Amino acid sequence: KLSTTLEDSIDKHLVSDVPVNAFLSGGLDSSLLVAIARQKINQLDCYNIKFTDIDQKHEANSNDSYYADKVSKYLDVKLNTLEVKPNLSNLLEKIVYHLDEPIGDSAAINTYLICENAKKNGVKVLLSGMGSDEIFSGYRKHRALQIKSKLNFGNTFIWLFLKVVINNPKPTREGTL
């Protein structure tokens, strides 16, 4: 049922009078979306964002562009990677205007920057896997909730320990964050 629902949704989103492109982070959601879309259309260009090594270290995030590159080669899609050093103070007013509502997810910055770059390239349609991480438990907080529900630790010491481990990013090789 999941496969049929995904394919049906992607089929409907591929109906366009302009070329369709896609976000590709290299994660489960966007990789699956691009794989299904690629089976249905001959050319699919994808967009990805990469922050500098210093910015990634500061945010304790993995390098999504590494995985996006692997997926794009495997699926034979063109990957447009934008390396950014955003000046957030200049972007904040624009992002808030376009969101039209308060949001606490920093991914809105990435989405805005990718869309802005794609627009400069004449792109009008980008497929997105937005919302699938919540379904497929793609974030650490979702995995933590899954673990908690299965183990039913309540407020025990073990649950508190797991909570600390899950909420803290891994240290770098130098032992610092």
Q: Over the stretch 19-50, which tens digit does the pLDDT of each residue have?
A: 999 999 888 888 999 999 999 998 999 999 88
Q: Which residue has 């390396």 as its token pair?
A: 83
Residue pLDDT tens, the chain, 177 long: 989 999 999 999 999 999 999 999 888 888 999 999 999 998 999 999 887 766 655 555 566 788 899 999 999 999 999 887 767 777 878 888 888 787 777 778 888 889 988 999 999 999 998 777 667 655 666 666 677 677 665 556 666 776 677 676 555 444 444
Enter the pTM of the model. Answer: 0.72
35 neighbors 11 (Cβ within 8 angstroms): no
Extract the tokens encoding 122.
Answer: 């004449």
Buried/exposed code over 110-135 (b: 16+ C-beta within 10 A; e: otherwise): bbbbbbebbeeeebeebbbbeebbee
